[in-house]
A and B are shown apart, each in its own frame.
Chain A
Amino acid sequence: MLQQIIALVIILFFVFRLFGQKMKHKISGNEFGLWLGFWIIAAAAIIFIKDIDRLVKSFGFSGAGINFLIYLAVLALFYLIFRLRLDLAKMDKNLTELARQNALNDKK
């Protein structure tokens, strides 16, 4: 129970921080929505951890719900790193095109 409360306090801290960033226009509306959704799901998962335990068991997994959440978090991290890698590659491509057009326009 104490662990759940600590986890919820930490999430609350990040949610407040998120609102602060939105008020200061540091993040876009879409980004705000995405992270808010993420923290709400995380909070729900912690509140309903017992139900997740039952759900995991009904799928035939022997581990506790918290383990299942950690596996999901690792998968999500892998996905985010992959997305970042792709975004970087796209930015790199655009940068090359800018450099090219600059070189070609200088010669016109």
Chain B
Amino acid sequence: MKISCVIPAWNEAKNISRVVGEVRPYVSELIVVDDCSDDETSALARTAGATVLRHPINRGQGAALQTGDEYALRNDADIIVHFDGDGQFLATEINDLIAPIMSGQADIVFGSRFLGKASNLPALKKYLIMPLARIFNRIFMGIKLRDPQNGFRAMNRQAATAITIENRAMAHNSEIQAKAFRAKLRIAEVPVTVTYHEFGQKFSGGLKIASDLLIHKIIK
């Protein structure tokens, strides 16, 4: 079974070699999509053993993930894992994530920071931004998941084919979740650890995500 991991990366020269090195043992192919970095991300990822695709202009994380998914599907991937390039996820948890797919219990598996494993989630996110995002997702997107914004996920070929990521920026998280529910895929959530090196998505970023999602609903 071919397991491909897609890592979107933009100016990740500081982390990419380590991340590729950590993930490589757990997957058959590692695809780094360099979203037009100014630094040495592409060269370092290639040296570390990744297949590198490079966007000629910066298009955002969602766009990079879709590019990686299309490449993986064309190259016969059976399972596609999405992983971040900044080292906030644990490569050792890839096996936990793909286990429900390997056993045939799920088509798509989302990592969750709210199922028991310790994550150093900032309090503002934990008690305000995430609950609000969960409510938004539930009401407007029909998503019933504990973690509304987690980039660590795995999907089988059927799920990857059914889900085309159209939100090129950060709204792709909710989009993928919503499309998984809409396509009636078998969905599972597994606990994952997320290590925050910085605050990440702010409240204003959350509002931008909500506006992107609504605009995409209109222009479809």
Taking beta carbons and an 8 Å cutoff, which residues of A are in contact with B?
85-86, 89-90, 92-93, 95-96, 99-100, 102-104, 106-107
Contacts and interface: CB of A to CB of B under 8 A. Distances in A.
A92 B57 CA distance: 12
Contact of A99 (B55, B215, B216, B219): B55
Given A86-B219, A107-B71, A99 B53 contact: no
A107 B51 contact: yes
B56 interface: yes
B20 interface: no
Contacts, number: 47
Say which size band chain B's interface belongs to.
20 to 34
Contacts of A90: 219
B57 A89 contact: no
Interface stretch (B62-70, B115-123, B143-151): B62-70
Contacts of A85: 215
A103 B57 contact: no
A95 B55 CA distance: 11
Contact of B70 (A95, A99, A100, A102): A100
30 contacts: A85-B215, A86-B218, A86-B219, A89-B216, A89-B219, A90-B219, A93-B166, A95-B57, A95-B59, A96-B60, A96-B168, A99-B55, A99-B56, A99-B63, A99-B67, A100-B55, A100-B63, A100-B66, A100-B67, A102-B55, A102-B56, A103-B54, A103-B55, A104-B53, A104-B70, A104-B74, A106-B53, A106-B54, A107-B51, A107-B53
A70 B56 CA distance: 45
Interface of B: 33, 51, 53-57, 59-60, 63, 66-67, 70-71, 74, 166, 168, 215-216, 218-219
A88 to B, nearest CB: 10
Nearest to B53: A103
Contacts of B67: 99-100, 103-104
B26 to A, nearest CB: 22
Given A85-B215, A90-B219, A99-B57, 4 more contacts: A93-B168, A99-B55, A103-B54, A107-B71
Contacts of B33: 103
Which has the most chain A C-beta neighbours within 10 Å: B33, B51, B57, B60? B57
A106 to B, nearest CB: 7
Given A104-B67, A104-B70, A89 B215 contact: yes
A21 B116 CA distance: 66
Contacts of A100: 55, 59, 63, 66-67, 70
B145 to A, nearest CB: 26
